[in-house]
Amino acid sequence: MEKVVLDAHNVSKTYNEESAVPVQAVNNVHLHITEGEFTALVGPSGSGKTTLLNLLGGLDRPTSGQIIVGGVDITGLKENELINFRLHNIGFVFQSFNLIPVLTARENIEFIMLLQGASKTDREKRVNELLNAIGMPDKADARPGELSGGQQQRVAVARALASKPKFILADEPTANLDSASANNLLDMMIRLNQEENITFLFSTHDQRVIDRARRVVRLVDGKISEDSQ
């Protein structure tokens, strides 16, 4: 039986609710993600992709609806509980990499595990595994400024994986990369998905990424207009 990692019911998000012109960024979305999926959330700019990802990742709160991650309704969690939940259950990859510039690649990956309170032995083992998985063991001691955009984004994926999350949310992960780097990153994400059964949900409007996604969810004006599943 397929294991559900994320379940969104009737999720809506309205900005400026009290004003004369409220903005409905996400409108009554139902989304069901199972373990091992490689899903692209697509749509034009302003369609609500990033807002939906933020809601699903617990970075923002829906105006209405329910979001259940690994059996926990995250809409009911308090701020600190939500931060802690994200730390242990959700991995994030951002469009502009967002690595900590003063830490090396190794330290950036290790950082999340330090926040989790993992032991030094566990951290070292996991970091080495991840550096190998992203094909960058030789860049372990390089700082983000010494890495290319593609390499930085691979480290960002490794960082997202470090906490052994239930799934990874990636907001336009290839938007700031050239074609070769974007393809390399996609190859790596697909390999992680296929070999290690890592669940990815990413927003994109990059056709190369859409073409390689196993499931495509299309969002228009905050509503799901099409789901390839």
Binding site for another protein (CB under 8 A): 54, 57, 59-60, 80, 83-84, 86-88, 92, 94, 96, 98, 100-103, 111-112, 114-116, 159, 163
Please state, in angstroms and rounded to a whole number, the distance separating the CA atoms of residues 66 and 157.
Answer: 27
Q: Give least dist CB 98 to another protein, A.
A: 4
Q: Give least dist CB 51 to another protein, A.
A: 8
Q: Give least dist CB 194 to another protein, A.
A: 26
Q: Which is nearer to another protein, 59 or 72 (CB)?
A: 59
Q: Which is nearer to another protein, 159 or 218 (CB)?
A: 159
CB 75 within 8 A of CB 124: no
CA distances from 58 to 19, 47, 54, 161 (A): 25, 19, 6, 17
Residue the block writes with tokens 């990636």:
170
For residue 217, give the DSSP letter: E
Q: Which is nearer to another protein, 202 or 213 (CB)?
A: 202
Listed in sequence order, the residues at least 6 apart from 36 whose beta carbon sits closer than 8 Å to its beta carbon are: 193, 197, 198, 199
Q: Which is nearer to another protein, 60 or 227 (CB)?
A: 60
Q: Which is nearer to another protein, 45 or 207 (CB)?
A: 45
Please state, in angstroms and rounded to a whole number, the distance separating the CA atoms of residues 97 and 153.
Answer: 5
Q: Give least dist CB 163 to another protein, A.
A: 7
Residue the block writes with tokens 């730390």:
87
Q: Which is nearer to another protein, 86 or 139 (CB)?
A: 86
Q: Give least dist CB 183 to another protein, A.
A: 25
CB 202 within 8 A of CB 40: yes
Q: Give least dist CB 87 to another protein, A.
A: 3
C-alpha closest to that of 130 among 170, 157, 153, 103: 157
Please list the alpha-helical segments (H only) found in 22-72: 49-56
